[in-house]
Amino acid sequence: MSDVIEIAATTTLLSTRGLSVHYGGVTANADIDLTVDAGEIVGLIGPNGAGKTTFVDAVTGFAKSSGEVRLDGERVDRIAANRRRTAGMARTWQAGELFADLTVAQNLAVAVQRVGLRALISDVFTGSRPPAGIIDEALAMVGLLGVADRRPGELTLGQQKLVGVARALVGGTRLVLLDEPAAGLDTHESREFGAELRRIAATGVGILLIDHDMSLVLDVCDRLYVLDFGRVIAAGSPTEIQDDPAVVAAYLGSPEVQADSLDDGSAAERSAAERSATERSATDGPADEPGGGAR
Ligand SMILES: Nc1ncnc2c1ncn2[C@@H]1O[C@H](COP(=O)(O)OP(=O)(O)OP(=O)(O)O)[C@@H](O)[C@H]1O
Ligand SMILES: [Mg+2]
């Protein structure tokens, strides 16, 4: 492939410049410059409390931030969360759960119902609901079209996690930000989940993936950013990240620790939790999920 074609084929879907978020005295995000291209899976990793969820909150309009956020070149940092969603960016929530009493298709439908009084009144009179086509399209993207009428309890955990992703893909989403979407999956399920993410990215969707499962992120991501105390401390390919002494130090608290220890996500998480307990206790605010699944 010639250089010309390669340049023409790359669309930067998400780009942030100097994105910062402050919670009282805590700098949760500091000057973050990050990009995600169409068709790319970009990992965002870092110890507990590093600012990963905050970054997703800021990009999608759920946290007050300064700096620039662009979606496909257009500034979106001054528009409300629902308008950013309509413009083509969507997120999942760290503890995002499905409605157990609704079918898979209904779980997707409620995620795209319009909000606001005017929409409510017009929906009552017109009986309007999201067209089945866009629900089916999102389910097909995650390979779950066949279970549209089942309830979440009838699905495997891996399938339930994919419904969570499909919910964010509904309505022509071009950029999706996934906050620990594979939490709770075992190694095999996690690998399958990763393969599904690759298929989604192959359709041209840009994916920002947050996860503590190191084998998943190193396996599935094209590039990674590492956050620590709200700052990007490293960025690059999975190989570059694994060998970066600053990353090893951030995760394990000591530069002497071997880089291949990063393969053990649980150890990294444990070490980070111990670190945050000792280093952050003086400054931490509440770590609640803003919005708690509301849209
Ligand atoms: N709504 C909030 N109000 C005040 N402080 C907050 C709020 N949300 C997050 N923080 C603080 O911002 C920092 C970053 O938190 P954040 O939840 O973004 O980290 P994280 O990298 O997603 O962690 P985890 O891996 O545990 O999910 C932490 O110090 C946290 O206590
Ligand atoms: Mg988080």
> What's the per-residue H, E or C state across 169-181?
HCCCCCEEEEECC
SS3 call for 243? coil
CB 89 within 8 A of CB 14: yes
Residue 47 alpha carbon, nearest atom of ligand 1: 25
- Which tens digit of pLDDT belongs to each residue from 71-91? 999 999 999 999 999 999 999
- Regarding the beta carbon of 183 and ligand 1, being less than 6 Å apart is answered no
Residue 29 alpha carbon, nearest atom of ligand 1: 14
CB 103 within 8 A of CB 154: no
Query: 220 CA distance to ligand 2 centroid (A)?
Result: 19
Tell me, what's the pLDDT at 140? 94
How far apart are the C-alpha atoms of 280 and 49, rounded to whole Å?
A: 9
CB 193 within 8 A of CB 185: yes
Residue 41 counted as domain residue: yes
- Give residues with Cβ within 8 angstroms of 80, minimum separation 6: 61
Residue 267 counted as domain residue: yes
Largest CA distance in the chain: 66
Range of the domain at 268: 3-95+173-279
Tell me, what's the pLDDT at 87? 94
How many other CB atoms are there within 10 angstroms of residue 191's CB atom?
18
Cα 270 to Cα 45, 61, 73, 227, distances in angstroms? 14, 30, 39, 17
Total domain count, the chain: 1
Please report, for the domain that includes residue 83, its CATH number: 3.40.50.300
SS3 call for 148? coil
Which has the closest alpha carbon to 236: 80, 117, 246, 164? 246
CB 217 within 8 A of CB 209: yes
CB 225 within 8 A of CB 59: no
Residue 128 counted as domain residue: no
Angle at 216 between CA 140 and CA 260, to 5 degrees: 165
Angle at 155 between CA 154 and CA 160, to 5 degrees: 130
How far apart are the C-alpha atoms of 69 and 88, rounded to whole Å?
A: 13
Residues in the chain: 295
| pLDDT cut 90: percent of the chain above it | 66
- Binned at pLDDT 50, 70 and 90, residue 274 comes out as very low
- Regarding the beta carbon of 54 and ligand 1, being less than 6 Å apart is answered yes
Tell me, what's the pLDDT at 129? 58
Residue 24 counted as domain residue: yes
Q: What is the pTM of this model?
A: 0.82
Interval 135-164 mean pLDDT:
94
Which residue's CA is the nearest one to ligand 1's atom 4? 285
Query: 144 CA distance to ligand 2 centroid (A)?
Result: 27
Residue 70 counted as domain residue: yes
Query: 105 CA distance to ligand 1 centroid (A)?
Result: 32
Residue 141 counted as domain residue: no
Residue 138 counted as domain residue: no
Tell me, what's the pLDDT at 119? 53
Residue 285 counted as domain residue: no
Q: What is the mean pLDDT of the chain?
A: 82
